Structure 1
Amino acid sequence: MQDYYIGLMSGTSLDGADGVLVDFSSPTLRLVATASEPFTDIFRAELLALNTPTHNELHRAALAGHQLAAVYARVVHTLLREAAAQGIAASQIQAIGAHGQTVRHQPQRTSADMAGVGYTLQLNSPALLAELTGLDVVADFRSRDVAAGGQGAPLVPAFHQGVFGCVDASVAVLNLGGISNLSILPRDPRSPVLGFDCGPGNALMDAWCQHHTGQPFDAGGAWAASGQLLPALLASLLDEPYFSQPIPKSTGRDLFSLAWLAEKLRPFATERPQDIQNTLTEFTSRACTASVKSYGKDSKELIVCGGGAFNQHLMQRLQAGLPALRVSSSEQHGLPPLQVEAAAFAWLARQAVTRQAGNLASVTGAAGPRVLGALYPA
């Protein structure tokens, strides 16, 4: 019996929406179809602006959520056309898992009472998405974990364990989106899976590249590779209290914002842009490799997914920083780098529909396992 779910993801890179149709009917998941749609420059700028307090933001956020649902719906309809070509009807798809676009992530409790519970906010319009697609939609995956005292992130380690876990060796999985997050998958099933946000992934590199070259990202890391490391700047970037915080922990553009970067760059205003790009790339690499050394030192391999897996210079720097590990792309393990997170949210939707926990308390710090997400029927 087929067990079809759609997963939709738009991450902190703000580059667009990725979608997958996944068949979970066998022990090894099968990608039936994939699709993506880039964000327009105007929409991307609006989402970026909504990451910080801004004018009339409630109204603008609602409209942005509707616009995101429209993008999601176009991705879904592309997936449905591909599915129909393979003889799969829309009625066979159980649900869509739609993550939404994170614009605030403040999971820390601010006081002892319930009014002080932290929060996480993803722009979305799941009711509209259900209306536009005629399919059940599961959304708002993170808030239940936060309500249970967790970080609400990362949520993908449980999925990583099922897809990339190995009985022969411990494995680490690094997602390089706008923010980088790490999953530690122990060989021993009695040991807990760990996961947390390392710090910046592509977000600061992409922003610097866009500003100075007009390109949305540094293709292959070629521009960074043309520059030189600035040790004083690297030291300043790494001098951020987040990196010394114990796990569980999570972060986002709330901390590693363009304003944060501008302040760090103030004493380096006369440096060459390509040297700063080189240093930002090394910053991401050092934050990630330090995380692996601290919590995944027994790992034999680092599997990299997300857009950063295509940055050859960054991948080389990760390998240089972890000489005892094999650094590889998730493509070499059967799942393309840009489809991993979307597939994870298809899996999370399935967990919600079947009323199974989607979080790992060892990762998020929640009080226990929780069914994540809210259902919006077609």
Structure 2
Amino acid sequence: MAAEGYYIGLMSGTSMDGIDAALISTHPTGIRLLHTLSHPWPAALEQRLRAQASRASCTLQEYGEIDHLCAQQFSQAALSLLDSAGIPASRIRAIGSHGQTLYHHPSSVVPFTLQIGDPSVIAENTGITVVADFRRRDIAAGGQGAPLVPAFHQALFHSPEKNRVILNIGGIANITVLPAAGDCITGFDTGPGNCLMDGWCRKSQNQPYDASGEWAAQGNVHPPLLQSLLQDDYFRQSPPKSTGTEYFNQEWLEARLRQYPEIPDHDVQASLLALTAVTVSQAILNWAGDTDEILVCGGGAHNRQLMTELSRRLSPIPVAPTDNIAGGISPDWVEAAAFAWLAKQTLTGAPGNLPEVTGARHPVILGGIYPKNQGF
């Protein structure tokens, strides 16, 4: 089945800093990013989502309400994107909606992952076919359900001349290892990206994030705290592995801060930035030591202090944003574009996971298809 054309990707990650919407065109020779838009979460809904994302339980009423309310916001993001781009909904083949992750627990006795944002509501509101719930089929096949973006990274960023690592720094950081030879592609979640830094900034500064890492730069790394944070077993696990804010959250941090009650707030922030830099760098050096270049996407690409620290730790390997190469995409829109591309994969009956990344037993077609109303 040929399914070249226009697709929309909708992505809200573990940072919960808004819904990223990306319009792409796909054709036999490649992928083109056409238009983008960031849609903010209403403050009251964002508060409810953050409250639930660090809990292990939720009432059925709360689940049903935020599932529906999230879908309304995803719908509005898609419609606003189309309005801004001047393209009618009838020209869009499908929306790939990642949904909002509330809980990701693939390694438990009963493995599962939960993303909300009812795709039926999105299809009804937009009049566009929706592909959603991408992660659960990979888990059903024995995988981690994450990361899923490496297949898109392979399609967009593979180079036959250079061994590349694509580093995504959202709330959680993950890497995709792309050897020039095209084989042995791997990837996994390295641990916290921005989530702990953002949470500490909200608590201590009443700000959503530390712009450019300026606050962290004012502090000094507290070595005993950093070593305490690095002792977590997750960092020593071998891939495939994935994690989320249901694990790395403020409760996780506070439990370790109790040993060091006198640390200044900005020193805590500096130590959290170092935690991200150390765990990302160790993951790359341990699992992709022959890397020629590292391309960074996600919100962390704008944190100058973090990028400087990564460059220092990974020298002489160059570290640069994903739009630093020909055919690249701005760091802000890689994940949203990826889920637009994954929607195309599903509609064409093509797999969207990489078993060598997720640990699934075999490739699978991801997600469910929620068709647009045909007018009957």
Work out which of the residue numbers 121, 136, 139 in structure 2 matches 1:143. 136
- The letter for the 2-side match of 1:108 is S
Give the match for residue 176 of structure 2: 183
User: Is 1:240 equivalent to 2:232 in the alignment?
Assistant: yes
- Distance between the aligned counterparts of 2:5 and 2:176, measured in 1? 26
User: Is 1:307 equivalent to 2:309 in the alignment?
Assistant: no
Give the match for residue 268 of structure 2: 276
- The letter for the 1-side match of 2:271 is T
User: Is 1:25 equivalent to 2:27 in the alignment?
Assistant: yes
| Higher mean displacement: 28-37 or 177-186 | 28-37
User: Is 1:370 equivalent to 2:371 in the alignment?
Assistant: no
Within 5 Å, give how 1:172-251 maps onto structure 2. Answer: 172-189=165-182, 191-251=183-243
| Higher mean displacement: 47-56 or 305-314 | 47-56
User: Secondary structure of the equivalent of 1:95?
Assistant: strand
Work out which of the residue numbers 140, 151, 154 in structure 2 matches 1:158. 151
Q: Given the two structures, how large is their TM-score scaled by the length of structure 1?
A: 0.95
Give the match for residue 331 of structure 1: 323
Q: Which deviations, in whole Å up to 9, do the C-alpha atoms of 1:69-113 show, x marking residues without a partner? A: 1111111112211332xxx43212110000011111111251xxx
Within 5 Å, give how 1:98-137 maps onto structure 2. Answer: 98-110=97-109, 116=110, 118-137=111-130
CA positional deviation for 1:55: 7.2
Give the match for residue 60 of structure 1: 62
User: Is 1:293 equivalent to 2:280 in the alignment?
Assistant: no
- Distance between the aligned counterparts of 2:95 and 2:162, measured in 1? 33
Q: Which deviations, in whole Å up to 9, do the C-alpha atoms of 1:218-266 show, x marking residues without a partner? A: 0000000010110000000000001111110001112112111100111
CA positional deviation for 1:360: 0.4
- The letter for the 2-side match of 1:141 is F
- The letter for the 1-side match of 2:332 is L
- The letter for the 1-side match of 2:211 is A
- Alpha-carbon RMSD: 1.4
Q: Which deviations, in whole Å up to 9, do the C-alpha atoms of 1:251-303 show, x marking residues without a partner? A: 11121121111001111221110011000000000010000001111111111
Within 5 Å, give how 1:66-77 maps onto structure 2. Answer: 66-77=68-79
Q: Which deviations, in whole Å up to 9, do the C-alpha atoms of 1:95-132 show, x marking residues without a partner? A: 0000011111111251xxxxx4x111111210001011
- Distance between the aligned counterparts of 2:52 and 2:184, measured in 1? 36
User: Secondary structure of the equivalent of 2:319?
Assistant: strand
- Distance between the aligned counterparts of 2:29 and 2:306, measured in 1? 33
- The letter for the 2-side match of 1:215 is Q
Q: Which deviations, in whole Å up to 9, do the C-alpha atoms of 1:181-214 show, x marking residues without a partner? A: 110001112x221010000000000011111111
Within 5 Å, give how 1:350-361 maps onto structure 2. Answer: 350-361=344-355
Work out which of the residue numbers 5, 11, 15 in structure 1 matches 2:7. 5
Cα gap change, 1:165/1:55 in structure 2, threshold over 3 Å: closer, same or farther? closer
- The letter for the 2-side match of 1:361 is P
- Distance between the aligned counterparts of 2:76 and 2:197, measured in 1? 29
CA contact (8 A) 1:96 1:346 kept: yes
Give the match for residue 113 of structure 1: none
CA positional deviation for 1:41: 3.0
Identity, in percent, stands at 45
Q: Which deviations, in whole Å up to 9, do the C-alpha atoms of 1:17-73 show, x marking residues without a partner? A: 000110012523111111111123322221111124477522112211111111111
- Distance between the aligned counterparts of 1:57 and 1:185, measured in 2? 42
CA contact (8 A) 1:66 1:124 kept: yes
Unaligned residue ranges in structure 2 (runs of 5+): none
